[in-house]
Amino acid sequence: MSERRASDDARTSEARAIVRRLIDAGEGLPDSVRRDIVDLSDAAVLPLLEILEDASLALGNAPGGGEAPVHAARLLGELRAARAVEAMLGVLNRTDPLDLLHDQLLESLPEIGASVVEPALRAYAANDAHDFRTSVASVLARAGVRDDRVFTVLLETLKAEPSHGAGDLAEYGDERAVPHLSRAFDDQGIVESDSPLANQDLVELRAAIEELGGSLTPAQDEKYARALEPAERWRRQMRAALESREAARRRTRPGRNDPCWCGSTKKYKKCHLVADQNHASTDGAR
């Protein structure tokens, strides 16, 4: 028994030493390191969790620039590490939705598959924090498991966060969601704003409806066109600004051997000189 325990301890120490190479890997994980860790299979899970749960390793001034936990999360997903799910959900709960680690967990947890569903449903029920529930719903939508409890969670997300809920329901792929999405579209008001993203909820709802095989009614089409007016105004303004800037550059032409105004780094004579001359000739003729 002691010999077996010593052998297990030695294997654990070896695995931990290999996995800790993640800490100094930096932003790009070398493929050789990834292969060595994946080859460890289940033996890599505990050392990877140690890195994932070490908050100090996620700091920008940590070795490797704080990337080690992100690599650990990615590899746990690749290993389909079912026994890591609850710990990964715990880290998901503690991370900011804008963090790279949060995004990586949203990608890695669904890769684990059906084993993620029960722990994720328990975590959703036990935590009423809006951001966490929205994140867990995204995980459940992408886990590849059809379950009415998951569908209910996604409908709750649709009510609380139409844009996220629409995307998750489209990812889940159940056409039963179409009537719910259509009602959400009708309930969503048009925001009067100059922001091109003012009515993004309606954009996401329409995309989900169509992805699941539905379509907008004529009244909804009219509403959608009105909702897109701020975005269309913004696009027209941007096109006008770009055309004005290009025209200004062309009016102040560089010398033949100077860098071209378009930013290509080529000499003007080898880039836009001929086109500008032709443009000028056409304008003169007009």
Is residue 106 a part of any domain in this protein?
Answer: yes
pTM of the model: 0.77
Q: What is the pLDDT of residues 138-168, one digit of tens each?
A: 999 999 999 999 999 999 999 999 999 999 9
Is residue 131 a part of any domain in this protein?
Answer: yes
Is residue 153 a part of any domain in this protein?
Answer: no
Domain identity same for 124 and 206: no
Is residue 165 a part of any domain in this protein?
Answer: no
Domain identity same for 106 and 34: yes
Is residue 14 a part of any domain in this protein?
Answer: yes
Is residue 151 a part of any domain in this protein?
Answer: no
Q: Tell me how far the alpha carbon of residue 18 is from its chain's centroid.
A: 29
Domain identity same for 259 and 198: no
The rounded distance, in Å, linking the Cα atoms of 129 and 122 is 14
10-residue mean pLDDT profile of the chain (286 residues): values are 54 84 88 94 95 93 92 97 97 94 97 97 97 97 97 97 96 98 96 83 96 97 90 79 68 71 70 76 54
208's CB contacts (< 8 A; 6+ apart) are: 166, 167, 169, 170, 177, 181
Domain identity same for 13 and 122: yes
Is residue 23 a part of any domain in this protein?
Answer: yes
Q: Nearest Cα to 69, choosing from 19, 11, 15?
A: 19
Is residue 150 a part of any domain in this protein?
Answer: no
Domain count, the chain: 3
DSSP string, 108-151: HHHHTGGGGHHHHHHHHHH---HHHHHHHHHHHHTS----HHHH
Domain boundaries, position 87: 1-145
Q: What is the pLDDT of residues 38-50, one digit of tens each?
A: 999 999 999 999 9
